[in-house]
Structures are given as structure tokens and as C-alpha cells.
Amino acid sequence: MIQAFNISKSFGESKILNDVSLSFEKGKTNLIIGESGSGKTVLMKCMVGLYDVNKGKVEYDGRNISKMSFKEKREIRKELGMLFQGGALFDSFNVEENIMFPLSMFTKKSYEEKLERVNFCLKRVNLENVNNLLTSELSGGMTKRVAIARAISLNPKYLFCDEPNSGLDPKTADVIDELISEITQEFQITTIINTHDMNSVLNIGDNIAFLYKGKLWWQGNKTEILKTDNNELNDFVFATELTKRLK
């Protein structure tokens, strides 16, 4: 379980997050939704320790990351997997080397053992025989899947996904959503996803937090979100012509 307590974060005069408290449960896909600029990515980067918070704390199963030393933070980061918006695969490596990288850095496995794990992770994200492809040769959906494979290669306890569907067609986006949801349940990971894709919200949103102007505005699940009378959330959920018609 990951808990954020009273997180506030500013950049200069601009206050991005204001007293946000949230908890994310194990084995569930926890979604953070909100308009662009609402503070979703900043909140995620505060939670993983890429940004220092101005106020508040983040706890990983009771371990306060904000008070940890550099060495302790590095240890806890080995339990994290993160899927970045653009994949963040290493350009100079091929697919196999990308997924093998965390294994080479933090395990003493032989090449054969590492390769076995790489192939398992690739199979898990429905990709096979792509080991030698360069990252520039991958499609958008493949890039995301390889990034997921890399994120799960060390069996993480916590998985962070920053807009996993951005730039993907609806069908591929659906496949990625399903994949993340399956992996979360299968390996009992605490998964946190930043998104503004309503399909993802309705598809895999076990626990949904809506951020509005840097504040936690609403929290619920995929069933409750359709029945809420929160005006700002309704404006967000039913913003497109399609969702308006569905309503």
C-alpha cells in the first residue's frame, strides 16, 4: 500500500499540489485522473521521489520515503517499476538489453537466467521474437509493452504508469489497460496510473482519484464516477460529444 499525506508542491510562485492526501491499495489499479496541468504527473514524481515535496510525506507500506537517506531511497527504488509517458527505453540498447538492464544492475544472475526472465516478461506482455529489435524499430504500442516488460522484470511491488495510453489508438490502448490490470492482479502489485483517458477509467478503475487545480476533488471507483453529482468531475468525464451522448 502506498499512502500520500498532505502533499504540497510548488515551483517558484506556482503552486501545483495543495494538501493532497491519498492511499493506493495493493492488487488494485489505482487511477489518478484530471485535466492537463492538474498536477497528476507532479504528484506521481513526488511519490517516486523524483521531486522533493514542500510539505507532507509518502509512505510505502509504512516506510516514509521523504525521510530516507540516499542509500535507503535507492534500495526502495529497486522495488519500483515505472512506465513513462514516452516509454523512456534506452535508445542505445535493443529490446532484450533494455529489459535485461535492471537484472544486470541488481542481480547476480547468469546471462542464461537473465535471458529466461527477459523472455518470460516479453511473453507476459504478448511480445515474442523481438529481442534484437532496436527501440527505433518499435511501434507505439510495442514501445509501451516493452517498457512494461522492463518495469516488471525485477518483480516490483509498486508499479507507476504515467499516461500509458497517450499516443495510442483506442484498440491498442485497451490492450495496454488490460495488460496492466492483469499484471497488477497476477503479481499483487500496487499500481498507480496517471491518465485522462475515460476508456481506461471505465475499464480498469478500481480506485479513482480526481485532481482539480492541484487538489484532491473526488475519490471513488468506476461505477461511482458515472453517478456523481460533482460538477467539475462531470465536466471532465462528460467532456466529449461521445460521452455526452452516452449520458
Residues that bind other proteins (CB under 8 A): 45, 48, 50, 74-75, 77-78, 80, 82, 84-86, 88-91, 101-102, 104-106, 160
Q: Which is nearer to other proteins, 108 or 245 (CB)?
A: 108
- 114-118, Cβ contacts within 8 angstroms, sequence gap of 24 or more: 117/153, 118/149, 118/153
Number of neighbours of residue 72 by Cβ within 10 angstroms: 13
Q: Which is nearer to other proteins, 34 or 49 (CB)?
A: 49
- At its nearest, how many Å lie between other proteins and the CB of residue 100? 11
- At its nearest, how many Å lie between other proteins and the CB of residue 37? 17
Report d(CA 189, CA 180) in Å as an integer.
10
Q: Which is nearer to other proteins, 132 or 221 (CB)?
A: 132
- At its nearest, how many Å lie between other proteins and the CB of residue 113? 15
- At its nearest, how many Å lie between other proteins and the CB of residue 65? 12
Instruction: Assess contact for 1 and 26: CB atoms under 8 A.
Output: yes
Cell numbers 515551483: residue: 11
Q: Which is nearer to other proteins, 75 or 224 (CB)?
A: 75
Cell numbers 521474437: residue: 129
3-state DSSP assignment of residue 90: coil
- At its nearest, how many Å lie between other proteins and the CB of residue 191? 15
Q: Which is nearer to other proteins, 50 or 246 (CB)?
A: 50
Instruction: List CB contacts of 187: < 8 A, sequence separation 6 or more.
Output: 152, 155
Q: Which is nearer to other proteins, 102 or 205 (CB)?
A: 102
- CA-CA-CA-CA torsion sign (171, 118, 85, 34): positive
Instruction: Assess contact for 6 and 176: CB atoms under 8 A.
Output: no
Q: Please state the length of the chain.
A: 247
- At its nearest, how many Å lie between other proteins and the CB of residue 73? 8
CA distances to 114, 123, 222, 233 from 166, rounded to whole Å, are: 30, 23, 20, 21
Q: Which is nearer to other proteins, 8 or 85 (CB)?
A: 85
* Cα separation of the two ends of the chain: 34
- At its nearest, how many Å lie between other proteins and the CB of residue 221? 28
